[in-house]
């Protein structure tokens, strides 16, 4: 935890959790990643965070919900005792993933909305995160931004990365917090103003990336986990690759990413598609995690290869 940060525990929210020992001496640079559920931080941007932790950046994951309404996606964990204790188990999994990544982490205390299924779709459960008024949902994040004082924030795009109601709400509260945290006239009870300098959206699964990995697997005579996905790829599906402004070279941390993801044992099948492409192929073919720069208060040329491009110079002048 940085010197500027005090423990964060408004009503119903756990204090910030952190590694027992920081892997390196922390710098003045601070990065916050806002995610909807425990495990999202390990499937989106985890290698980027691990790279910046290694470089001495203070990294904090804000987790909006506890994942209470998630499924058990690992067949080996699909047991009655796991389902009965899923919320507690997911907190333990998050703690382990946090330790692997070397990041700090805060729970914002909202209840998972679940992913509605059916035709017509059923209503979302009363009191869930996605049904909160925006100012209610954003208030804990505004407070956390003002306490941690990040220079850069990572979150999802307006579609949530995929249209899970919690991911869409996560996008909305992240944008709200980015725009409001520096305004002394807004959220006046949530601490002293702090303006983050850059906001990025994850752009994880561009078609070019999937095709490149699929081609590489076939060239090695291996079965590609993406074959069926590409066959069914809609012609009119928006491609996040067209929005990428920033590529972070973090291939050497893909193993750390995968270890963190496996820590969420209820959510990830260790024999599933997530781990279907050997690390060597991933590191050779597509060694970056990709982002769209959505908001910036500093000048930086595009394309970028550093989330703190322009920030480092601004921080030196403060």
Residues at the binding site for Zn(2+) are 37, 40, 167
Backbone phi and psi for residue 296, each to the nearest 5 degrees, phi listed first: -155, 135
C-alpha 128/C-alpha 36 separation (Å) is 12
- Cα–Cα distances in Å, from 42 out to 48, 105, 174, 243, 265? 10, 12, 18, 22, 12
β strands within the chain, DSSP E: 30-35, 58-65, 104-110, 152-155, 198-202, 246-249, 288-296
Find the Cα–Cα–Cα–Cα dihedral 205, 109, 153, 36, rounded to 10°. 10
Binding site, by residue number, is 37, 40, 167
d(CA 230, CA 228): 5
**Cross-strand partners of 304:** 246
Angstrom distance (rounded) from CA 187 to CA 142: 7
Enumerate residues 6+ apart whose C-beta is below 8 A from 28: 315
């Amino acid at each position: 935890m940085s010197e500027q940060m005090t423990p964060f525990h408004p009503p119903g929210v756990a204090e910030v959790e952190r590694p027992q020992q920081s892997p390196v001496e922390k710098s003045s640079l601070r990065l916050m990643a806002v995610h909807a559920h425990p495990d999202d931080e390990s499937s989106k941007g985890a290698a980027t965070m691990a790279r910046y932790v290694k470089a001495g950046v203070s990294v904090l994951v804000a987790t909006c919900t506890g994942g209470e309404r998630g499924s058990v996606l690992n067949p080996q964990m699909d047991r009655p005792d796991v389902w009965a204790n899923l919320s507690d188990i997911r907190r333990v999994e998050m703690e382990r993933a946090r330790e692997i990544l070397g990041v700090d982490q805060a729970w914002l205390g909202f209840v998972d909305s679940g992913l509605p299924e059916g035709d017509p779709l059923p209503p979302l459960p009363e009191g869930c995160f996605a049904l909160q008024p925006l100012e209610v949902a954003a208030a804990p994040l505004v407070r956390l931004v003002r306490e941690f004082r990040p220079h850069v924030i990572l979150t999802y795009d307006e579609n949530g990365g995929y249209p899970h109601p919690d991911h869409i709400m996560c996008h909305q509260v992240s944008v709200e917090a980015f725009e409001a945290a520096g305004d002394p006239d807004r959220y006046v009870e949530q601490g002293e103003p702090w303006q983050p300098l850059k906001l990025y959206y994850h752009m994880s699964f561009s078609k070019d990336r999937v095709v490149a990995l699929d081609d590489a697997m076939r060239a090695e005579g291996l079965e590609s986990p993406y074959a069926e996905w590409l066959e069914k790829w809609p012609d009119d599906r928006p491609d996040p690759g067209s929005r990428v402004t920033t590529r972070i070279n973090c291939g050497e941390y893909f193993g750390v990413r995968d270890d963190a993801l496996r820590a969420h044992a209820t959510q990830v099948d260790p024999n599933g598609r997530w781990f279907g492409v050997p690390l060597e192929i991933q590191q050779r073919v597509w060694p970056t995690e990709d982002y769209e720069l959505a908001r910036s208060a500093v000048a930086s040329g595009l394309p970028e290869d550093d989330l703190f491009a322009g920030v480092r110079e601004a921080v030196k002048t403060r």
